Amino acid sequence: MQFIPHEYQNYAVDFVENHPVCALIISMGLGKTVITLTALLDLLFDSFLVHKILIIAPLRVARNTWPEELDKWDHLKSLEYSLISGTPQERLQALAKPADIYIINRENVPWLCSLPGWDFDTVVIDELSSFKNHKAKRYQALMAKRPMVKRIIGLTGTPSPNGLEDLWAEFKLLDMGKRLGRFIGQFRNQYMMPGRRNGYIVYNYLPLPGASEQVYEKISDIAISMNSVDHLKMPDLVMVEQRVKLSDQEQDLYQQMKRDLVLPFMDQEITAANAAVLTGKLSQMASGAIYSESGESIHIHSRKLDVLEDLIEAAAGKPVLIAYWFKHDLERIQARFPVRVLNTDKDIQDWNDGKIEIAAIHPAAAGHGLNLQSGGSTMIWFSLTWSLELYQQTNARLYRQGQKETVRIYHLIAAGTIDEEIMKALKYKDVSQSRLIEAVKAQF
How high is the pLDDT of residue 358?
96
- The alpha carbon dihedral of 106, 108, 111, 112 has a sign of negative
Q: Apex CA 365: angle with CA 127 and CA 94, to 5°?
A: 60
pLDDT, averaged in runs of 10, over the chain (444 residues): 90 96 86 94 95 92 88 93 95 96 96 95 94 95 97 90 88 96 94 85 87 93 85 81 92 86 63 72 92 85 94 89 95 95 89 93 75 90 90 88 86 94 86 73 70
Query: Would the pTM count as exceeding 0.85?
Result: no
SS3 category, 102: strand
Whole-number Å distance between alpha carbons of 178 and 372: 40
> Any idea where the domains of the chain sit in the sequence?
7-231, 237-246+302-427
H helices then E strands: how many in the chain?
19, 21
pLDDT at residue 344, rounded to an integer: 86
To which H or E segment does residue 437 belong? helix 418-439
Apex 158 CA angle, 155 and 161, nearest 5: 135
pLDDT at residue 272 in the model: 59
Q: In angstroms, what CA-CA distances link 273 with 43, 270, 303?
A: 54, 10, 27
Q: Which CATH architecture has domain 7-231?
A: 3-Layer(aba) Sandwich (3.40)
CATH of domain 237-246+302-427: 3.40.50.300
- CATH topology match: 7-231 vs 237-246+302-427: yes
Q: Within a 10 A sphere around the Cβ of 20, how many other Cβ atoms?
A: 17
Residue 332, classed as helix, strand or coil, is: helix
192-194/21-26 β-pairing? unpaired
What distance in Å separates the CA atoms of residue 290 and residue 257, rounded to the nearest whole number? 11
pLDDT (0 to 100) of residue 345: 83
